[in-house]
Structure 1
Amino acid sequence: MTEATQAPLRVAAVGCGVVWRHHLQAVLEMQPRLISYSAVVEPDALRRAAALKALDGQGAPARSFATLMEAIEADPDRTLFEAVDIMVPNVGNLHEHVAREAQNAGRHVLLEKPISVCIASGERILQAQPPEKVLMVAENAQYWREVLLVQRLIHQGQLGDLLSVRAKCWESAHPALNEWAADGSYDAGSFIADAAEGFVFDSGLHWLRPLRMFLGKAVRVSAVAGRSLLQMRGPSMTQALICFESGVTAIFEAILAPGAISEQPFFCIQGTKAEVQIDGFAGGARLFTIQDGKMIEEDLNGEFSGAIGWDTGYAGEMLDFAQAVLHQKTPEAGAAEALEDLRLMLALMKAAKSGQWEDVDQVDSLLSMEALQLEL
């Protein structure tokens, strides 16, 4: 059976906030359509109704439930949904709790990053997955088209020996400039504002994955952290140095600006032969070389066919998950990669608290942002 004729994977969307809208858009644009959201799970009645409305006209009507357990009990033979797309907030042990419910019910699992709040919890999720079922952690940066292009340039040696990498995770907290802010995600009382993790932890992981894709294994880190939004309990800005086993040091910066912030490159990679930059959310990449004694700037957008930019990563991860389940394709990145992202972020935050260099491999398996009690 070809992809064009195969029945799509039936998926329950668990958590219907901002991330759900991105996942849904990626699925609706998929050609051929390999995923069908046949159920929505959301405790908030208004969001649940909005999710159902968004699925109108997409085939058979979806069913809605307040909890995943309610959905599982209503579908004991797995005819309604074979897989779950878990997009609930990263609060306490909620990721592990919901993932384990799905695993125990024999469903394939797509779990939005971070895998959990500590290494031990993430390891339990990995160990609980039935071998015949797919477990994938959704990290759209793994499928970010500009990142994949730059990774290829690095591996092909077109930049020469790498000297330095600068990565900047930036957003505005103004509702006119940011859909998360418009949704209330950064308001006092929201899960991001009230949780110990904060913006740096929640968003910065999207920048740590590309750094690891470019540079390999991270070994130690030094950092400072602070608060740019008074209502946010966890860090909303950081500056860090990350040393990699390859000998290259990366500069990582993250900030959630209270108001205006200019368009800035997300990544700048400096090599002995060339420099390459990855632009902001709208996408684009540029290569800088010396030719005939002059510096040449080459727009790399021509390397792409179709859309570019941040949102293309969601399309890639949804397609990868569908193909892993339907065609037994090995995912582009195993779920264990999410553990390494988490380990690096926790080492960074530990360094911000201690004021010392911290070894990434020495992160305690039970360390979480809540346990760290980082004072800002």
Structure 2
Amino acid sequence: MAVRVALVGCGRISRVHLNSLLALRDPSLVISTAVDPNVAAAQQTRQLLPAPQECKVYGSVEEAGDDSYDAAVIMVPHHLHVEIAREVLSKGKHVLLEKPLATSIEGCRELLALVQSTDRVFMVAENSPHWPEVAHAVNLIKEEVIGDPYYAQANYWEAVGHSDFNNGDVAEWRFDPSQVGGGVVMDGAIHWMRPLRLFLGDISKVVSTMAYPWESVKGESLADALIQFKNGRTGLLHCHTNIIPMEKIPFFQIFGTKGEITIHGSFDGGLSVHTAGRTVSVNPGGYFGAFKPQMASFVSAIKKGKRISPSDSGSVLEAFKDVLVANAIYRSAKSGAWEAVDNNDTV
């Protein structure tokens, strides 16, 4: 079964998804279409394809028409997610939509309703469940290697002047709260919320603070949230976008009654398990190792004609829960009080 894929949005993240498609080495996959209002960006994406693949370039989904692709990987600015996903679904295409699901609860509800009314595969590209370090930590917790986990600390940070996140690669829209849906919380830290839920369970409420130390970052560039989980466990989410180089700190620390799991603060990977008198360190594959299995899951669902189930890591329902957590963090920063994460919104 041949699957023609459209890359909708040809910015920085499109290179990562393109590489994951090519890494599958599946001759039945054809990258047939590149779409971006900046046609030059779409043309640059086409040039990354190995010969003899052909790929047509368009300035919009409407211009691409109905017959140039079967599935779309949508990688547009956040505020366009609902609009573009709605348009692509209306053409009967399969969708892999970059996170977050939407910038508003209303947008999430609309996409949830659309997905429930279609037989197309609709998957949200929340790659963190496929992140090798996260998956390994989840397995270690299930195996009770650190006993009963009672607390997790998550540090989402980006040093946009750092060598592994060059300032020139940051699109201007990412500094605009109206397009991002906020600042660092909605932009990148939402990737860290899913692992916290995988480690400790669903979140019941949060209390948070925010700050705006950098004039160039219009949304919040610093936020902290104390988290209460439904099962009584607690956690802390620290989010920080810094425009200068900064010391790398662990991405995650999960504390249990018999030890600790640390996911190192490097996109290149690394994880350590600390138990009584012993430390074991491994490198399961690194952050970018998440994208190939994520893409494989999407392609497999299309070929099998299998819709993404509500409990699947790429489901709209799970992505909706992440947005609800982010929304509660924003509400708490304004109210100065604990705010509930109402998962009834997803019903």
Give TM-score scaled by structure 1 length: 0.85
SS in 2 for 1:170: strand
The verdict on how the C-alpha distance between 1:309 and 1:195 changes in structure 2, with shifts beyond 3 A counting, is same
Change beyond 3 A, Cα 1:351–1:35: farther
2-structure distance, mates of 1:222, 1:32: 46
- Deviation (angstroms), 1:34: 5.6
Q: Whole-Å Cα distance in 2 between the matches of residues 115 and 356 of structure 1?
A: 26
User: 2:288 corresponds to which residue?
Assistant: 311
**In 2: Cα distance, 1:34 partner to 1:209 partner:** 32
- Aligned in 2, Cα 1:283/1:33: closer, same or farther, shift over 3 Å? farther
Q: How many residues align?
A: 337
* Structure 1, unpaired ranges of 5+: 1-5, 366-376
For residues 143 and 268 of structure 2, the distance between their equivalents in structure 1, rounded to whole angstroms, comes to 26
Letter in 2 for 1:12: A
**1:33–1:268 Cα change, 3 Å:** farther
2:128 equivalent among 134, 137, 141: 141
Residue of structure 1 aligned with 2:24, choices 13, 21, 30:
30
1:60 aligns with 2:53: yes
Counterpart of 2:111 in structure 1: which amino acid? I
- Quick one: structure 1 residues 101 and 330, their matched pair in 2 at CA, closer, same or farther if it must change by over 3 Å? closer
Q: Percent of aligned pairs with the same residue?
A: 33
Given that 2:73 and 2:95 are in contact with CA atoms closer than 8 Å, whether structure 1 keeps it comes out as yes
Q: Which residue of 1 aligns with 2:161?
A: 174
Corresponding position of 1:102: 88
State the 1:155 CA deviation.
1.7
Whether 2:335 is the aligned partner of 1:358: answer no
Contact 1:223 1:355 in 2 (8 A): yes
Q: TM-score, normalised by structure 2?
A: 0.92
CA contact (8 A) 2:31 2:53 kept: no
Shift in alpha-carbon separation, 1:182–1:33, aligned structure 2, 3 A: farther
The worse-fitting range, judged by mean Cα deviation, of 323-332 and 204-213 is 323-332
**3-state SS, counterpart of residue 146 of structure 1:** helix
Contact 1:346 1:363 in 2 (8 A): no
Asked if 1:87 is matched to 2:75, the reply is: yes
Following the alignment from structure 1 to structure 2, what is the Cα–Cα distance between the partners of residues 133 and 273?
Answer: 45
Q: Which residues of structure 2 form unaligned runs of 5+?
A: none
- CA distance in 1 between counterparts of 2:162 and 2:147 reads 42
Q: Which residue of 1 aligns with 2:176?
A: 194
The one-character-per-residue Cα deviations of 1:316-359 (angstroms, maximum 9, x if unpaired) are 21111000101235644222100000000110111111110101
**Are 1:262 and 2:247 matched, yes or no?**
yes
- Structure-2 residue corresponding to 1:221: 206
> Where does residue 272 of structure 1 map in the other structure?
257
After superposition, residues 200-349 of structure 1 pair within 5 angstroms as: 200-279=185-264, 280-290=266-276, 295-301=277-283, 304=284, 308-329=285-306, 331=308, 332-333=312-313, 334-349=315-330
Q: What is the identity, as a one-letter code, of the residue corresponding to 1:167? A: A
Query: Partner residue of 2:100?
Result: 114
Give, in whole Å, the separation in 1 of the partners of 2:12 and 2:293: 18
Q: Which amino acid aligns with 1:14?
A: V
How much does 1:33 deviate?
5.0
- Cα–Cα, structure 1 residues 364 and 325, in superposed 2: closer, same or farther, change >3 Å? closer
Q: Deviations over 1:57-104 (max 9, x none)?
A: 1x43100110001112xx3xx3x311111000012xx11110110111
The answer on 1:45 being equivalent to 2:39 is yes
* CA root-mean-square deviation: 1.8
Aligned-partner SS, 1:12: strand
* 3-state SS of paired residue (1:311): helix
Matching residue within 51, 55, 69 for 2:62: 69
Q: Is the 8 A contact 2:122 2:307 kept in 1?
A: no
Query: How far does the alpha carbon of each residue in 1:279-338 deviate from its partner, in whole angstroms, 9 at most, with x for none?
Result: 121101110111xxxx2110133xx4xxx1010111121111000101235644222100
C-alpha separation between the residues in 2 aligned to 1:149 and 1:364?
A: 31
Runs (4+) of structure 1 moved beyond 3 Å?
A: 31-35, 328-332, 362-365
Counterpart Cα distance in 1 of 2:132 and 2:162: 27
Larger mean CA deviation between 47-56 and 345-354 belongs to 47-56
The alpha carbon displacement at 1:258 in A equals 1.9
